[in-house]
Copies of this chain bind each other. A is one copy, B any other.
């Protein structure tokens, strides 16, 4: 890809970055554009990152045995009336009346619809256990959308729903998600912890929030530091991990901290949430399954969310410096940015063509800026490796491969780079 032909512009004239660095860099770096309050448009480079995040989430969900489906954005109000949540949800729900005066809504979550889908097909224990997930845009009409993608109104979410024969099975499904979430966040280079959380409008009595520490986080989290060390082991035991003191804001109670435990508090960003609510939805929505003994009983459920578009912002919060974003390789829009300060490639296209032939994930900055302007831009954009073609090439035939993260450079010939790059 040549930058001169690519729709990617850094944007200096930012009127309001809502006071946080991830939003500032997302706008200045031309990854997203604000349409109206809490609603964003994804430019090609931003979408590349979003899709890589989405794909990592998908792969780990599939690996856990969950199956992807896709529900609609627009839902009928009647399912929510049936579950008893229609009035409860309040003004955050975007309520819509269609041309036939039917009450509809833009789904803020999908417990009702997924339960409806499940019960249409599955009538027997033979169809269990089951975990269905989707990656779909949701809408929550926040009173005051803020912090950019952190608390937008239209946002991309991975939401999974498990169906089990009994509470024990539901807890196993819950634990499978607990494990899968840590794998996802590790691949995204995020240090996450799971803390006990209030269940809010979703309901149930077992719930964990996944948090990443960030000084711009909206939440405060209280936890035993030993938990962080424990979960960073390759294979940890979920029950042991759950037994550490780790609480979301509203669950923390100083008087309940076990003696000898030193509780730390940190600002954090919520990036995932697990809920077990057993039969809360299956009873009103009549999602029963026949058991082996012939009895016909409500199915046991849980739901499991990850804010995919919020992760975009959380990754920036966790990985940046004063010059811009430092994308982890796993989600970077491109792995290499080629900064040609001497017009080498402009005069000889064969280098560009060779990189393309090798399917190298790169973008070539062929704009007429000088190298220092290019450094400013690519440090902001956060591409992991800058391939610098400057005076060293003129004098010694060497290019520099510079890591955005460490700032360290490595000199080599063009030929060696083409050979070794992947």
Contacts and interface: CB of A to CB of B under 8 A. Distances in A.
Interface of A: 4-7, 9, 11, 30, 33, 35-36, 39-44, 46-47, 50, 65, 67-76, 91-92, 94, 96, 98-99, 102, 106, 113, 116-117, 120-122, 126-127, 130, 132, 137, 139, 141, 143, 153-154
Contacts of A98: 94, 141
A30 B106 contact: no
A268 to B, nearest CB: 27
B67 A42 contact: no
19 contacts: A9-B121, A30-B121, A35-B72, A35-B75, A35-B113, A39-B74, A40-B72, A41-B71, A41-B72, A42-B70, A43-B117, A44-B68, A44-B69, A47-B68, A50-B70, A73-B73, A73-B137, A92-B99, A96-B96
A41 B67 contact: no
Contact of A42 (B50, B69, B99): B69
Contacts of A71: 35, 41-42
Contacts of A30: 121
Contacts of A94: 74, 96, 98
B35 A76 contact: yes
A90 to B, nearest CB: 9
A126 B369 CA distance: 14
Nearest first, the 3 closest Cβ-Cβ pairs linking A and B are A42-B70, A9-B121, A91-B99
A353 B94 CA distance: 47
A106 B72 CA distance: 13
Contacts of A121: 7, 9, 11, 30, 33, 43
Which of A98, A117, A122 counts the most chain B CB atoms within 10 A?
Answer: A98
A154 B69 contact: no
A7 B47 contact: no
Contact of A120 (B33, B126, B132): B33
B36 A117 contact: no
A214 B314 CA distance: 49
A239 to B, nearest CB: 26
Contacts of A132: 7, 44
